[in-house]
Amino acid sequence: MERKTYQIAREAKDKNYDGKFYFGVKTTGIFCRPSCPAPIAKEENVDYFDTVFEAINEGFRPCLRCRPDLQVEYAVQNIDGSLLINDALKRIYEGFLHEHSIKELADVLFVSDRHLRKLFVEHIGVSPVKVAKYHKALFARKLLQNSDLSITRIATASGFGSIRQFNQVFQEVFGRTPTMARRGMDQADESQAPRLLLPYQKPFDFYGILSFFRARAISGIERIDQESYQRTFRIGEMEGYFVITNQPEISALEVRVVSEDIRVLMAIYARVRRMFDLDANLQAISDCLGKDPILQQGMESGLVPRLPVAFDPFEHAIRAVLGQQITVKAATTLAGRLAARAGKKTIGYLDGLDFFFPTPEELAATELDELGITKTRQQTVKNVASALLEGVFHLRADQSLEHFREEFASVKGIGEWTVQYVAMRGLGMVDSFPAKDLGIIKALMTGAEKPKEKDILNRAEDWSPYRAYAALCLWQSNLKR
């Protein structure tokens, strides 16, 4: 039945199935996404795959017309099964295996390396070593297409140990050398900070998302003007800052990354895509929610807003704690004071990018008196940092909402609003829903009467599994009144 469904979708060139499966044509050795404009191949000549990695592993090369390696993000939502696999993939996508072995990856996930390999073969059809190898080649292809880095720097940024290794793997995956792939593109300018282009599907309200982030920007960490988003970062031992601007003429975000360690580009690429919700199927979500007239009020041209996800989940969790029962502006002010008190200063960065946000270890050691934070809230901040260090809860986007809710709510001082808000904006969990949020209550008021939480949750059941987008629509509807 699954193969028959795939055949129908492939022959109809159905875009709704892009990213859900791929097909390879045995007579050409090419694999495509379902909506590929190429002539329809005979069914007996077609193999189907659940992931890009399976197709590559079987010797198929990405199609140069539909670009399955570029246009569809091979994201973890396509993997059926273990949360552990999702976590492993996320770490691989962010470059964990640049500096660590498969055994070290397995240790982080609290399983044996043998068991990890077994799970990858069961769920993806490819070993973690091959996934990492193919992912590096796919990411390098993105950089060749969407950056102005030299081929040598692309090899390093993608995690290859040498140019020879890069050339060998790239040719194995794409059937051509990196030089051949780049031929005809603009030459790299080594005097500039590395430039990444992150393509998006229109419509894309860059300035609307920018406005959302601006109202919540942490002084010294983030700087947001009318045209750009700027922030400092630390990812493991790598640190620096980046600047995001919009390039609407080519439907892409431009990201300039300044860091001494170019290997950080893979992690920045993945996180910025999540920040601006570039991989959401807005039409499918809007079709699900658009039947409710109150949600329609928060849509633009029949589409839901994109979900703005914080760059750093821990930073957002602390900011959410600071925002308990106070205004957005007040919480933002307190977060800036906290970052300045922690004192992790930058050197030689852009004006306004003065600090790094403290890590859980650094925050646990920071004195919070005389910052305007209540004693109760100070203790909650400390509780969150300590609980995260002790493994009481985890800030992983791949865990279930109920699992995160159970663990995070066990931390003293954490209530339901904080749980749901961190799940929504810190982890990007699309079915989270902060029912106690004042903006949601206001949007659902009938006259002067406030709806009860139980009634809000009952109504929100109709909006599952996209209740986070429903919350965005409700917030947006308030702005239109």
CA distance 367 to 381: 11
**376-434 pLDDT, tens digit each:** 999 999 999 999 999 999 998 878 899 999 999 999 999 999 999 999 999 999 999 99
Residue 122 or 476, more confident: 476
| pLDDT at site 479 | 81
Give ∠ CA 114-120-125 in degrees, rounded to 5: 125
pLDDT bucket at 344, cuts 50 / 70 / 90: very high
Compute CA 465 distance to the chain's CA centroid, rounded to the nearest angstrom.
Answer: 18
Q: Please list, in sequence order, all residues whose beta carbon lies within 8 angstroms of the beta carbon of residue 287, skipping any fewer than 6 positions away.
A: none
Q: Which of 39-43, 49-53, 72-76 has the lowest mean pLDDT?
A: 72-76
User: Strand, coil or helix: what is 219?
Assistant: coil
**210-230 pLDDT, tens digit each:** 999 999 999 999 999 999 999
> What are the residue boundaries of the structural domains of the chain, listed by start?
2-62, 193-279+310-374
CA distance 146 to 162: 21
* Average pLDDT taken over every residue of the chain: 90
| pLDDT at site 15 | 81
Return the half-sphere exposure (C-beta side, CA atoms, 13 A cut-off) of residue 325: 8
Per the CB < 8 A criterion, the answer to whether 136 and 158 are in contact is yes
Q: How far is CA 224 from CA 149, 196, 227, 265, 337, in A?
A: 26, 19, 8, 21, 18
| pLDDT at site 71 | 54
Strands of the sheet with 61-62, listed across from one edge: 46-49, 22-25, 30-32, 61-62
% of the chain beyond a pLDDT of 90: 68
CA distance 374 to 304: 37
For CA atoms 175, 178, 180, 185, give the dihedral sign: positive
Does position 76 have pLDDT exceeding 80, yes or no?
Answer: no
**What mean pLDDT comes out for the span 363-386?**
96
DSSP E strand boundaries for 108-225:
195-199, 222-224
Query: Which CATH number does 193-279+310-374 carry?
Result: 3.30.310.20
CA distance 267 to 94: 4
**280-319 pLDDT, tens digit each:** 889 989 999 999 999 999 999 999 999 999 999 999 999 9
Which amino acid belongs to residue 1? M
CA distance 397 to 399: 6
Does position 189 have pLDDT exceeding 80, yes or no?
Answer: no
| pLDDT at site 190 | 47
| pLDDT at site 184 | 54
**CATH of the domain spanning 2-62, picked from 3.10.180.10, 3.30.360.10, 3.40.1350.10, 3.40.10.10:** 3.40.10.10
**What mean pLDDT comes out for the span 63-76?**
69
DSSP state of 196: E
> 0.85 cut: is pTM over it?
no
Per the CB < 8 A criterion, the answer to whether 321 and 413 are in contact is yes
